[in-house]
Structure 1
Amino acid sequence: MPKTRQKGRQRLKLAIVSNQSTKSKRIMTQLEEKLLSAGLEIDQNDPDVVLTVGGDGTLLSAFHRYLHLIDKVRFVGIHTGHLGFYTDWRDYEVDQLVRSLQNDEGTSVSYPLLDVMLSYSDSKADKQFLALNEATLRDFSKTMVVDVYIKNDFFERFRGDGLSVSTPTGSTAYSKSLGGAVIHPRLNAIQLNEIASINNRVYRTLGSPLIISGHEWIRIDIKNGGNYHLNIDHLTIPQSKLKSIMFSVSRKKIHFASYRHTPFWRRVNDAFIGEFPKKEQDD
């Protein structure tokens, strides 16, 4: 299981983040009313727990919105759509969730995050970002040419559409569609995936996902000018004068309140396979 932490009982301050669907807005209104009736405090600026109403996209938005509080805040997801990997609660379980919040003891499970450090060829200062799912670099103007280093050792020269680096929880998102492995979040690791690499008699790459341990890092040195776009989760960040990007497992983690935390492999099964069929009895 992921790391669990616990802190003393305290009066909770709660924030609510919802997507714009009619159903989610209705659930958010109900949740606000029930929280206030239960004597709980709503504080959108400095919460202890962030409640998201929607799906994984809503939780990603909330994560980046409260990134400045990542060391203290915990997240709880309420699922109102078709698929929610990060959401432990359904829209019809609001009453149960409110009771859990009333009895909160500060427990949580923690997942690794991806640290992204950008360096530039001009005088710009380095920039640092955190990703919950992944960071993806593409060049939309031409074939992307970059050198890939693991720690300080040259690994390969990549030519293709792009590269994506994911966290263990992000391994079930875009990384999976690129053929990456699904990684349990107990592993302190990141994963590098190629996007449409060029492989022939002249140009070669490994052509397989790379899983990098927590004490290592990946550096991508950019070899040609181009129209680079860096995606940090759902955020698109156009880049110019980009010289290199460093990817590593962050020292920071995201914390989920563990009132009723769904085991990781059950989440994977529910998201991609569904319930196992009952074993048919022999005639």
Structure 2
Amino acid sequence: MEQRNRLFFYCQKDGITEKFLERLIHEAREHGFEPVPHHEEANIIVSVGGDGTFLQAVRQSRFRQNALYSGINTTKNSSLYCDFDLHSFDDFLHTILNEEMEVRKFPVITTKVNDSTPFYCLNELTIRSTIVKTIVINVYIDNKYFETFRGDGLVVATPTGSTGYNKSANGAVVDPLLPSFQVSEIDSLNNNDYRTLGSSFILSKNRHLRLEVIEQGNDHPIVSFDNEAFPIRKINNIEVYMEDLVVKTIKLKNNTYWDRVRRMFL
């Protein structure tokens, strides 16, 4: 088994976090780990911050399949992706050194805008209107027409992303052991001309989703991947599907996904 001792720390560049980072690097070296300056050299990528920082670390390192990810939470907020905090960093190092770690695999969705290069999302894809006017989208499942949506936008979420924007749009919270993705409406308009399902729906990993934007004075919507918005001048269609891509994270024992959900919401 490959020895996992090369750590890359990802954090936002601010004085407080960088001070924490100095301490973490010092402790890692004392335990025989090798902090490296570039994520390509690492076999463990550690985010230092909150869930937003974790999402950025995964995206900036291009969803590495040959590396493990872990999050060190420096905020007072509950975290879905960060198993460890500054007080338990020694436990993190001890877990790796003694090969006691458990690896959690989070499914990822693949997206293509206008048939372009794929983007990957660990949380969700959103498409929203940028003006005070509804957006109209034809929804296709496995290349078969399903419905025409009219409203503020749509959220397509992974199981872990189901606790974020998707949940605020009244979507269901989904177990990440179920490889699937969920489509939720943002303030849909239902009348005699437009009729949608009116609730979120969940598609299996093997399904293919296609969203076609209908130009009706709203041909410049905003599309975001996880917590990053992308300025795409003209969006004609978006494809969403799942491959075998996963994000492998180091987890504490006896800290399941549902333990985290309970701490965050109950």
| Pairwise same-fold verdict (TM > 0.5) | yes
Between the aligned partners of 1:174 and 1:187, the Cα distance in structure 2 is 19
1:27 to 4, 14, 20: 20
Unaligned runs of 5+ in 2: none
Aligned-pair CA distance for 1:154: 0.4
Bigger-Rg structure (1/2): 1
Q: 1:83 aligns with which of 75, 78, 86?
A: 78
What secondary structure is seen at the aligned counterpart in 2 of 1:251?
coil
What is the CA–CA distance in structure 1 between the aligned matches of 2:111 and 2:169, rounded to whole Å?
20
Are 2:168 and 1:177 equivalent residues in the alignment?
A: yes
Tell me by how many angstroms 1:114 deviates.
Answer: 1.0
Specify whether residues 137 and 11 from structure 1 end up closer, same or farther in structure 2 by C-alpha distance, changes over 3 A only.
Answer: closer
Say what the alpha-carbon RMSD is for the aligned residues. 1.8
Gaps of 5+ in 1: 1-7, 121-125, 274-283
Which deviates the most, 94-103 or 39-48?
Answer: 94-103
Matched, 1:155 2:156: no
Give the 3 Å change call, closer, same or farther, for CA 201–153 of structure 1 in structure 2.
same
Cα distance change of structure 1 residues 106 and 90 upon mapping to structure 2, 3 Å threshold: closer
Match for 1:139: what amino acid? S
**Partners of 1:55 and 1:79 within 8 A in 2:** yes
Does structure 1 residue 57 correspond to structure 2 residue 52?
yes
Paired with 2:254 and 2:110, the residues of 1 have a C-alpha distance of 25
Q: Deviations over 1:182-203 (max 9, x none)?
A: 0000001000011111112332
1:278 alignment counterpart: none
Are 1:138 and 1:228, in contact at CA under 8 Å, matched by a contact in 2? yes
SS in 2 for 1:94: helix
Aligned-pair distance for 1:139? 2.3
Within a 5 Å distance, the mapping from 1:1-283 to structure 2 comes to: 8-20=1-13, 23-45=16-38, 46-67=41-62, 70-81=64-75, 82-104=77-99, 107-119=102-114, 126-141=116-131, 142-224=133-215, 226-260=219-253, 262-273=255-266
**AA partner of residue 126 (structure 2):** T
Which amino acid is the alignment partner of residue 50 of structure 1?
Answer: I
- The 1-side partners of 2:46 and 2:211 are apart by 36
Task: Summarize deviations over 1:48-92 as a string: whole Å, max 9, x none.
Answer: 111111110110110101115x21111111112122111111211
- Count of residues paired in the alignment: 260
Report the alpha carbon displacement of residue 106 of structure 1 after superposing the two structures with TM: 7.3
1:129-170 C-alpha deviation (Å, 9 max, x unpaired): 000100001121332111000111100011111111000000
TM-score (norm 2): 0.92
Q: Decide whether the 8 Å contact of 2:209 with 2:241 is kept in 1.
A: yes
Contact kept? 2:4, 2:43, Cα under 8 Å: no
**Aligned equivalents of 2:34, 2:253: Cα separation in 1:** 21
**Quick check: 2:102–2:250 contact (8 Å CA) kept in 1?**
yes
**Percent identical residues:** 32
Q: SS of the residue aligned with 1:184?
A: coil
Query: In 1, are the aligned partners of 2:47 and 2:57 still within 8 Å (CA)?
Result: yes
SS at match of 1:100: helix
Distance 1:16 1:227 in 2: 37
Q: Deviations over 1:170-216 (max 9, x none)?
A: 00111100000000000010000111111123321111001001111
